[in-house]
Amino acid sequence: MAKINPNYQKLRTEYIFPVIEQKLADLKKRLPKASIVNLGIGDIAQPLAPAITTAICSAVQEMGEESSLRGYGPSEGYDFLRLAIAKNEFAHLGISPDEIFISDGANSDTANIQELFGMSNAIGITDPTYPVYLDTSVMAGRGSKILFLPCTEKTGFLPVPPKEHCDLVYLCSPSNPTGVAFTRKELAAWVAYAKKEGAILLYDNAYVAFITSPDVPHSIFEIEGAKAVAIEFRSFSKSAGFTGLRCAYTILPKTVHAHLGRKMISLHTLWKRRQNTKSNGVAYPIQRGAEAVFTKQGQKETKAQVKSYLTQAALLRKGLISLGYKCFGGVDSPYIWWKAPKGLSSWEFFDLLLEKCHLISVPGKGFGPSGEGYVRLSCFTSPAIAKEALKRIGKL
Ligand code: PLP
Q: What is the pLDDT of residue 15?
A: 73
Q: What atom of ligand 1 comes closest to residue 130's alpha carbon? A: 3
Distance 132 CA to ligand 1 centre (A): 9
What is the predicted pLDDT for the residue at 13?
67
Hey, which of 237, 249, 333, 376 would you mutate to test ligand 1's pocket, going by the most ligand atoms within 8 Å of its Cβ?
237
β 168-172/123-127 pair status: parallel
pLDDT value at position 16? 83
Instruction: Give the separation between CA 267 and CA 246, rounded to whole angstroms.
Output: 24
**Distance from Cα 156 to the centre of ligand 1, integer Å:** 22
pLDDT lower than 70: segments of the chain? 13-14
Distance 206 CA to ligand 1 centre (A): 6
Query: Which pLDDT does position 68 carry in this prediction?
Result: 85
Query: How many CA atoms are closer than 13 Å to the CA of 190, on its beta-carbon side?
Result: 30
Other Cβ atoms less than 10 A from the Cβ of 247: the count is 24
Strand order in 374-378's β-sheet? Answer: 327-329, 335-339, 374-378, 362-363
Distance 2 CA to ligand 1 centre (A): 33
Is this structure's pTM higher than 0.95?
yes
- Which residues does ligand 1 sit against, CB inside 6 Å? 42, 105-107, 130, 172, 176, 204, 206, 235, 237, 243, 248
Q: Are strands 230-235 and 100-103 parallel, antiparallel or unpaired?
A: unpaired
Q: How far is CA 145 from CA 119, 165, 168, 201, in A?
A: 8, 11, 10, 16
Give the DSSP per-residue string, 311-376: HHHHHHHHHHHHTT--EEE-SSSSEEEEEPGGG--HHHHHHHHHHHH-EE-EEGGGG-GGGTTEEE
DSSP 233-268: EEESHHHHS-TTT--EEEE--TT-EEEETTEEEEHH
**What confidence tens digit (pLDDT) does each residue in 63-106 have?**
999 888 899 999 999 999 999 999 999 999 999 999 999 999 99
pLDDT of res. 116 = 98
Which phi and psi angles does 183 have, rounded to 5°? -80, 170
Q: Which atom of ligand 1 is nearest to the CA of 107?
A: 16
Query: In this predicted model, what pLDDT tens digit does every residue of 216-265 receive, in sequence order?
Result: 999 999 999 999 999 999 999 999 999 999 999 999 999 999 999 999 99
Q: What angle (nearest 5°) sits at the alpha carbon of residue 44, between those of residues 177 and 89?
A: 80
